[in-house]
Amino acid sequence: MKNFDYFKPDTIKDACSLLSEYQGEAKIIAGGQSLLILMKERIIRPSYLIDITGIPKLDHAQYDDKEGLRIGALTTHREIETSSLIKQRYTLLSEVEIDIASVQIRNVGTVGGNLCHADPCGDFAPPLIGLESKVRLTGMESERILPLEDFFTDYFETALQEHEILTEILVPSPLPYSGAWYHKCSPRETDPAVVGVAVVLCLDSPNGECQTIRIVLGGVGQVPLRAKKAEARLQGNTINEKLINEAAKIAKEEANPISDLRGTEEYKRAMVELLTKEGIEKALEKAKK
């Protein structure tokens, strides 16, 4: 690994100032679970590491009915998995965490690091996008809030500017009669998804029409993709088996996978169809309850 200088600032402002000073040569490090692998393999070779784990008040998970859930960027996967608040109100997020990496990695890896790593096969982004989450990006003297679906710009690339840090994830309160589901296929449960599909839908009454739906596909494009045409097939309708099958076929076409060592394009498209069908069925079941 290339030698680097190490900083551990106590404030967001100092971290952003270091990022600005060493633009292009510095990397933020949080849990280091993804970054260190890339550094050891010399895929990236930063001259400066800025460790943000000493910055207080970035590891919270707070909820109120008006604002919903706010998750600090330094919150670990394990904290999300075990939080009783999240288990109760955002069950999907704690369920997703159980299959992210090993417990050792979940103890150290942060949710901010997971999103900023921007692996299109990451498991945390699709459910969060399904839940209409936003991210707070903090710079030296500015702050902006971006829908998470606009945060990812390319393979392992984000909308973060050189001097910005992701500080918080904002997840709205779940609506009544809503259901959410995520599932991935991967060689082992705890590997990142080959294909992952999140479905979050909301009905207007227990057996009523589908008011809103988000279908988010992971691992089949440069960034997590919304299957918007499939969503449109269901929105405003009473969901039935025929519509579910049609929507799943549309999602299969909207996916944009490539063949690689983890699977062929055809396999990945077939998995999108299968997981989308299952996802709509399961989310619908939950919404009706």
Binding region for ligand FAD (CB under 6 A): 27-35, 37, 52, 73, 77, 100-101, 105, 109-110, 112-114, 116-117, 122-124, 160, 165-166, 190-192
Indicate left, alpha or beta for 130 from its phi (over 0: left) and psi (-120 to 50: alpha): alpha
In this structure, the strands spanning 165-171 and 68-72 are: antiparallel
**Residue 284 CB, nearest approach to ligand FAD (Å):** 26
Taking the least distance from each CB to ligand FAD, the nearer of 108 and 243 is: 108
Measured in degrees and rounded to the nearest 5, phi and psi for residue 202 equal -135, 130
**Residue 34 CB, nearest approach to ligand FAD (Å):** 3
**Residue 120 CB, nearest approach to ligand FAD (Å):** 10
**Residue 276 to residue 34: CA distance in whole angstroms:** 28
**Residue 189 CB, nearest approach to ligand FAD (Å):** 8
Strands (E), 111-176: 134-138, 143-147, 152-154, 157-158, 165-171
Identify the DSSP state of 239: -
**Residue 190 CB, nearest approach to ligand FAD (Å):** 5
Taking the least distance from each CB to ligand FAD, the nearer of 57 and 229 is: 57
**Residue 154 to residue 224: CA distance in whole angstroms:** 10
**Residue 249 CB, nearest approach to ligand FAD (Å):** 27
Taking the least distance from each CB to ligand FAD, the nearer of 110 and 133 is: 110
Taking the least distance from each CB to ligand FAD, the nearer of 219 and 257 is: 219
3-state DSSP assignment of residue 48: strand
Closest residue to ligand FAD using C-beta atoms: 113
Long-range interactions of 268-275: CB distance < 8 A, separation 24+: 268/194, 268/195, 268/219, 268/220, 269/220, 271/185, 271/194, 271/195, 272/195, 272/197, 272/217, 272/220, 272/227, 272/248, 273/248, 273/249, 274/248, 275/183, 275/184, 275/185, 275/195, 275/196, 275/197
**Which DSSP helix (H) or strand (E) runs through 236?**
none
**Residue 193 CB, nearest approach to ligand FAD (Å):** 7
Taking the least distance from each CB to ligand FAD, the nearer of 55 and 215 is: 55
Taking the least distance from each CB to ligand FAD, the nearer of 51 and 278 is: 51
Taking the least distance from each CB to ligand FAD, the nearer of 109 and 130 is: 109
Give the CB-side neighbour count of residue 136, counting CA atoms within 13 A.
16
Taking the least distance from each CB to ligand FAD, the nearer of 127 and 203 is: 127
Identify the DSSP state of 124: S
**Residue 47 CB, nearest approach to ligand FAD (Å):** 13
Task: Give 257: exposed, middle or buried? Use CB within 10 Å, 0-12, 13-18, 19+.
Answer: buried
